[in-house]
Structure 1
Amino acid sequence: MSLSIIGFLTILIIVLLLITNKVTPIVAMVLVPLIAAVLAGFGFAEIGDFFSEGILTVMNVAIMFIFAILFFGVMQDAGLFDPLIRTLIKWTKGNVITVSVGTVIIAAIAHLDGAGASTFLITIPALLPLYNHLKMNPYLLLLLIGGSASIMNMVPWAGPLGRTASVLNVDVTELWRPLILIQVIGIALLVILAVFLGIREQRRISKKYGLVSAEEAAAAVDKVNGDSDQLKVEGSLARPKLIWVNAILFLSVIGVLVWGIIPAGFAFMIGLSIALPLNYPDVKQQSDRIKEHAPSALTMATIILAAGSFLGILTETGMLNSIAANLVTIIPAFIAPYLHLIIGFFGVPFDLLLSTDAYYFALLPVVDQMAVGFGIDSLSTAYAMIIGNIVGTFVSPFSPALWLALGLAGLEMGKHIRYSLFWMWGISIALLIVAVLVGVVSI
């Protein structure tokens, strides 16, 4: 019981530190478990072995994150996605419903790098003027971008799957494959929601401002595209002449990743090694591109490594097993087989209470250990928690990228949560039901 108490307090303290934003995740996940292990009576030599075991389980994930973020950063610098985004903006033709649907598609494309900050930096400046010209609600823009980016956040080089893979010690691309269908269905559901909300928005605009004329809509689209083209002309990093070569390289890397013939980290390492000299022959330019994206890559990698240390200590000391064994005895038997579904159902509200790190590094290991005790497969628990939670990623005040988005759009967090929470939670529950029906999550 003493191990359970120490382990529970360790997780609770880490969660509180992450929630209150008192320290960085690295500090919380390194120092707190270290102190806990010492209090539990383990020596530094033993703790060093626990650290080594934990680090080994997450090393491949950390490597993948570093090179994936660098690779996608270079692809965005080279302007690979810009023509597609501009074409989609033109395709909307100023129709409110089409603009809503186009927002979902544009955000999905922009979030292929798995980084929320870059997604908002690409999409909000491009689309906000269009929304303003058409008198559309900017909170609808944020809902659709955030929802689309959240569903795309299931890609293996984004945070949630990397965190989950490090917790369960599984290959991140293997973890991702069953979720591809869920992502496709999720985007389809979001498109349907965009149509519904677009119709509602069109009625609101007509009632408040009258109908927007075709000439006004066309002028709005032309202005937005003109501004976008001008920015791209002024940019020195874009490589429009190499767009097809970059597209082939991009699709090849993704194809190799899905195929699984080589480790994901190696695939991105090769892709980056080709992309840098291809787009930026000058060595200084190559170094500058790496330096530009290195902070994001290293931040995520260091968090993953710190989580490896945390999980190594909690697992090897027996704290997680002890917590699960004791909790299993007090959970009502009729709830036990559905524990993973219950946690998944409340995944979006959990986003308002827990940071992503706290949800995956503190809550997931405990729920998994408890669920295993009732015969629930670890992967089924992980999928239920991922699908249930991930749609709410950009409704959470714990998301730094969301604060960036609010700043770019000049919006308020409270109003965004009130506008988006109901719809995002609905999409989350629908996807969880779909996951059960297609067998991704078992009962």
Structure 2
Amino acid sequence: MTAVLGLCTLGLFLVLVMTNRVSVLAALVLVPIPFALIGGFGPDLGQHVLDGLATVAPTGIMIAFAVLYFCLMIETGLFDPVIRGILRLAKGDPMRITVGTAVLAMVVALDGEGASTFLITVSAMLPVYRRLGMSRLLLAGVVGLGAGVMNMIPWGGPTARAMAALDAGAEDIFTPMVPAMLGGIAWVLVVAWWLGRKERARLGLLEPDPGQAEGAAQGTDGRDGPDAPGAPGAAGRGGTGTLRVEAPQAIRAGAVRGAFNLLLTVVLIVSLVAEVLPLPVLFILAFTVAAMVNVPRWKDQQEFLERHGKSVVLVTTMIFAAGVFTGILTGTGMIEAMAAGLVAVVPESVGGLLPLLVALVSMPLSLVFTPDAFYFGILPVLAESATHFGIPPEEIGRAAILGQMTTGFPLSPLTPATFILVGMTGVSLGEHQRFLFRWALGTTLVMTAIALATGAISVSL
């Protein structure tokens, strides 16, 4: 009976989320309640919800302050030298420009937000690609590859969802995957180099106007008026047209504060990897210090929080809603009952391969499942099933983030950020998917191999 109720809960949740009948927030909170009441769990329902909220609270806190920290760093111009340096080093070489595009995408993606990564990176690089006649499909693909591998960071959507769904910390899900992620970054750079060489062979070595590069660093193309390529008024000539955004200028850091911000960010990242303190504590401290140095006045801090409060609220409310969903399903025993049913039909010989199987299908599943549907609906059942084969649930979480809405999100039609990417570059979704799929899958395969070699995931026969 409990397993049937769990399947009904999961099935209704997936249908509602994937058909957009209700918001994910509403589905996470409301769908499990009637089935829990039907199963007779009403008296303990409140406690199950509180238990679920308590488990995801550290994750929600970490994500909130991580988003605020990197938004502040972007506003202060911490990454501006990276953009200018890439454009200077490129010197009109399509190969260097392609590799620089990948590097820039991965640096900007540190804020954990795919949409802003696409907006900033494409705005900076599109004018250069236009000037040299480089392929916009190449631009979209390389930006997608860089952003995809960086989406594994613990304050990014997939890893945060995996931690919330499995009641695990970053040290359980993310830290063991650092070698695999570094391997994925190296793979992306190699792919960018390879694709850049092919583009160089097609175009030859060209030199952009100096003013063009400066305009790119500011997020513009150096031309004005309705006839400028990609301008809003030109949207019917290049397919979808392009969007343009300028980097926020509300907070700019001088040389001293810029050096401090760089040092603080390096210390933060080293502390995250070394697990000096729990991740929520590190980000609270880092953001507070950064805010005191860069926006010391309370009025300026309020304005900053107002600018980025929407992003924080959207992410954290989803995490706490997930706590309600997983708290009810776990407390009522639905997940355990569904997992027992799944174990009963899975051959013993296949059970030991579960982490590898999840890793291999994780990237293609980005085309089928939204991140919420997979991580909050499918992953807990897979993880609970794995425990019956002696596999830690965290290992299934690590396998999932090897591709599910990490390497796969830049080509998934289920994420709005994908349409920002193809819209800004002016390529069709179909072309983009055909170009990017094999390279994104390659990233997953490389990271899977490294994860197996380092023991982050394992197989047993």
TM-score scaled to structure 2, two decimals? 0.89
Number of the residue aligned with 2:457: 441
Q: Which moved more, 1:275-284 or 1:346-355?
A: 275-284
Structure 2 contact 128–216 (Cα < 8 Å) conserved: no
Please tell me whether residue 411 in structure 1 is matched to residue 427 in structure 2.
Answer: yes
CA apart distance, 1:358:
1.2
Give yes or no for contact 1:323–1:366 (8 Å, CA) kept in 2.
Answer: yes
Q: How far 1:397 sits from its partner (Å)?
A: 1.3
Question: Within 5 A, what are the aligned runs for 1:79-94?
Answer: 79-94=77-92
What is the match of residue 154 of structure 1? 152
> Aligned AA for 1:365?
P
Cα gap change, 1:233 to 1:439, in 2 (>3 Å): closer
Query: Does 2:385 align with 1:370?
Result: yes
Give the corresponding residue for 1:10: 9
1:268 aligned to 2:283?
A: yes
- 1:351 is displaced (CA, Å) by 0.3
Contact 2:411-2:437 within 8 A present in 1 as well: yes
The answer on 1:196 being equivalent to 2:210 is no
**1:340: how far off?**
2.4
**Which residue does the alignment assign to 1:145?**
143
Cα distance in 1 between the residues matched to 2:283 and 2:354: 36
* 1:314 counterpart = 2:329: yes
1:333 maps to what in 2?
348
Quick one: distance in 2 between partners of 1:167 and 1:234?
A: 34
Structure 1 residue 303 and structure 2 residue 309: aligned?
no
Query: 2:348 is paired with a residue of what secondary structure?
Result: coil
Q: Which residue of 2 aligns with 1:224?
A: 213
For residues 417 and 233 of structure 1, the distance between their equivalents in structure 2, rounded to whole angstroms, comes to 28
Q: 1:408 Cα shift?
A: 2.1
Please name the residue that 2:394 is paired with. 379
Equivalent position SS for 1:154: coil
1:230 is displaced (CA, Å) by 8.7
Task: Decide whether aligned partners of structure 1 residues 77 and 48 sit closer, same or farther in structure 2, where only a CA change above 3 A counts.
Answer: same
Q: Deviations over 1:70-114 (max 9, x none)?
A: 111111111111111211121111111111111111111111111
Query: Structure 2 matches for 1:156-175, cutoff 5 A?
Result: 156-175=154-173
Q: Which amino acid aligns with 1:156?
A: P
Find the partner of 1:426 among 442, 446, 455: 442
Name whichever of 65-74 and 279-288 sits farther off. Answer: 279-288
What is the distance in 2 between the residues matched to 1:421 and 1:227?
A: 28
Identity rate of aligned residues, in percent?
A: 33
Amino acid at match of 1:239: A
Distance 1:234 1:359, change over 3 A: closer
Secondary structure in 2 matching 1:8? helix
* CA gap 1:334/1:434 in 2 versus in 1, 3 angstroms: same
Superimposed CA distance per residue, residues 10-64 of structure 1 (whole angstroms, 9 cap, x where no aligned partner) = 1122122222222221101110011211122221x31101101111110000011
- Corresponding position: 1:287 with 2:302: yes
Q: Which moved more, 1:115-124 or 1:402-411?
A: 402-411
Higher deviation after alignment, 190-199 or 53-62: 190-199
- CA distance in 1 between partners of 2:434 and 2:370 (Å): 19
Deviation larger for 189-198 or 271-280: 271-280
1:184 corresponds, among 167, 182, 185, to 182
| Partners of 1:108 and 1:148 within 8 A in 2 | yes
Deviates more, 1:300-309 or 1:113-122: 113-122
- Residue 256 of structure 1: CA displacement? 2.8
Please list every run of 5 or more consecutive structure 1 residues that lacks an aligned counterpart in the other structure: none
Residue number in structure 1 paired with 2:67:
69
Q: What CA deviation, in whole Å up to 9, does each residue of 1:227-271 have, x standing for no partner?
A: 525978993422233210111222222233223232222222222
Q: 1:239 to 1:230 in 2, by over 3 A?
A: farther
- Secondary structure at 2:349 match in 1: coil
> Which one is further off, 92-101 or 236-245?
236-245
More helix per residue: 1
Which deviates more from structure 2 when the two are superposed, residues 242-251 or residues 165-174?
A: 165-174
Q: Which amino acid aligns with 2:424?
A: L
SS of residue in 2 equivalent to 1:329: helix
Q: CA deviation at 1:317?
A: 0.6
Checking the alignment, whether the CA contact within 8 Å between 1:14 and 1:32 is kept in structure 2 is yes
**SS in structure 1 of the partner of residue 345 of structure 2:** coil
How far residue 222 of structure 1 moved from its aligned partner, in angstroms, is 4.5
Judging changes above 3 Å, is the alpha-carbon distance between structure 1 residues 327 and 116 closer, same or farther for their aligned structure 2 residues?
A: same
Structure 2: how far apart are the matches of 1:254 and 1:193? 26
Q: Which moved more, 1:350-359 or 1:384-393?
A: 384-393
Aligned length: 432
CA distance in 2: counterparts of 1:364 and 1:431, whole angstroms? 19
Offset of residue 428 of structure 1:
1.0
Letter in 2 for 1:17: L
Aligned-partner SS, 1:340 = helix
Query: What is the aligned partner in structure 2 of residue 354 from structure 1?
Result: 369
1:59 aligns with 2:31: no
1:122 aligns with 2:136: no
CA-CA distance at 1:173 after TM superposition: 3.8
Shift of 1:199: 2.4
Retained in 2: the 8 A contact 1:79–1:240?
no
CA contact (8 A) 1:96 1:201 kept: yes
| 1-structure distance, mates of 2:410, 2:160 | 18
Q: Distance in 2 between matches of 1:415 and 1:295?
A: 33
How far off is 1:163 after superposition? 1.3
Alignment-derived partner of residue 96 in structure 1? 94
Question: Which runs of structure 2 are paired with 1:380-395 in the superposition (5 Å)?
Answer: 380-389=395-404, 390-395=406-411
Aligned counterparts of 2:216 and 2:139: Cα–Cα separation in 1 = 19
